[in-house]
């Protein structure tokens, strides 16, 4: 499946694949929360140089999550 492909390409660890398989909610939006967490980890490690960069990156995460939410809402809306 697609998660195994991501594991084979060393994008996801086996532990991450396992956790994603357990998740029954909106996976497309959940990935953006994962991205935000990664940005905060990088900020804590000093890889994001200042608060302005942090805000910029988190705004992009929010924009991506909002786009996915919009697409999922449209796909889930029945057409009369």
Confidence category of residue 76, pLDDT binned at 50, 70, 90: confident
Q: What is the DSSP letter of 6?
A: H
Mean pLDDT of 73-77: 87
The DSSP result for 41-69, as a single string, is: HHHHTT-S-SHHHHHHHHHHHHHHHHHHH
Give tens-digit pLDDT for 14-39. 998 998 888 877 777 888 888 999 99
pTM above threshold 0.75? no
Mean pLDDT of 34-57: 96
pLDDT per residue as tens digits for the range 59-69: 999 999 999 98
């Amino acid at each position: 499946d697609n998660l195994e492909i991501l594991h084979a390409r060393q994008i996801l660890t086996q532990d991450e694949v396992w956790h994603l398989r357990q998740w029954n909610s909106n996976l497309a939006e959940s990935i953006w929360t994962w991205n935000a967490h990664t940005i905060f980890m990088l900020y804590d490690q000093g890889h994001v140089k200042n608060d302005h960069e942090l805000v910029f990156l988190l705004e992009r995460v929010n924009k991506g999550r909002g786009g996915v939410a919009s697409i999922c809402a449209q796909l889930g809306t029945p057409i009369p």
